[in-house]
Amino acid sequence: MRRLVYLACFRDPVYVEAARLCIASLRGPGRYDGDIAVLSDGSFPEGTPGVTIHRLPAASDVFGIRSAKLGAARVLDVARYDRILWLDSDVIAVGDVAPLFAFLRRGLAAGDERPFNTLRAPSVGGCLSRWERLRHRFRWGINAGVFCAEAGVFGEYLDLWHAEIERYRASLHRWIDQPPLNALIVRRRIEFTPYPPGWIELPLLYEFMGKGRRFKLRPETKLLHYCGHPDKKEMLSRMQAHA
Give me the number of domains the chain comprises.
Answer: 1
Beta carbons within 8 Å of 181's beta carbon, 6+ residues apart: 110, 142, 144, 161, 164, 190
Q: Are 35 and 77 in contact (CB under 8 A)?
A: no
Supply angle C-alpha 150, 105, 143, rounded to 5.
70
Q: CATH number for the domain including 60? A: 3.90.550.10
Q: Please state the pTM of the whole predicted model.
A: 0.94
Q: Which domain holds residue 92?
A: 3-242
Task: Please name the residues in contact with 241: beta carbons below 8 A apart, sequence gap of 6 or more.
Answer: none
Q: How many whole angstroms separate alpha carbon 42 and alpha carbon 48?
A: 13
pLDDT values of the chain reduced to their tens digit, one per residue, 243 residues? 899 999 998 878 999 999 999 999 999 999 999 999 999 988 888 888 889 999 887 666 777 777 788 988 889 999 999 999 999 999 999 999 999 999 999 999 999 999 999 999 999 999 999 999 999 999 999 999 999 999 999 999 999 999 999 999 988 888 999 999 999 999 999 999 999 999 999 999 998 887 778 888 999 999 999 998 888 999 999 999 887
